């Protein structure tokens, strides 16, 4: 479709899923995330992740480590791993 100014406009919403019955809907979470401690009083609060409140979270969602990282960790000495762990813990505490 061409307007009086000569520009071409598109009158049909091709590719738009807004307002159409066939549009994609968000899937619902299987489990509701529940906080262990309610810190919402007084400030904005903080909700603890599901892995801390659901004891079986890692049964359903096993941890995965990239092969390159696994090879690196297993390739260094236990002393080097301990030193790195100490540095990481100190950084978290700061």
Written as tens digits, the pLDDT of the chain (94 aa) is 555 555 555 555 555 455 555 667 777 766 666 655 555 555 565 667 777 778 888 888 888 889 998 998 899 999 999 999 999 999 999 8
CB of 57 within 8 A of CB of 34?
A: no
Cβ neighbours for 52, distance < 8 A, ≥ 6 positions apart: 36
**The pLDDT value given to residue 41:** 57
State the DSSP H helix or E strand holding residue 68, giving kind and residue range, or none if neither: helix 67-75
Please give the residue range of the domain that contains residue 43. Answer: 31-61
Q: Are residues 56 and 72 in the same domain?
A: no
CB of 31 within 8 A of CB of 51?
A: no
Q: Considering the domain boundaries, does residue 25 fall inside one?
A: no
Q: Considering the domain boundaries, does residue 13 fall inside one?
A: no
């Amino acid at each position: 479709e061409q307007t009086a100014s000569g520009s071409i406009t598109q009158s049909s919403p091709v590719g738009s899923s807004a307002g159409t019955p066939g549009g994609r809907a968000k899937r619902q979470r299987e489990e509701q995330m529940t906080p262990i401690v309610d810190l919402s009083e007084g400030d904005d609060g903080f909700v603890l992740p599901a892995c801390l409140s659901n004891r079986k979270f890692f049964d359903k969602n096993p941890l995965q480590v990239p092969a390159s990282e696994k090879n690196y960790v297993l390739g260094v000495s236990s002393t080097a791993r301990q030193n790195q762990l100490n540095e990481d813990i100190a950084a978290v505490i700061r």
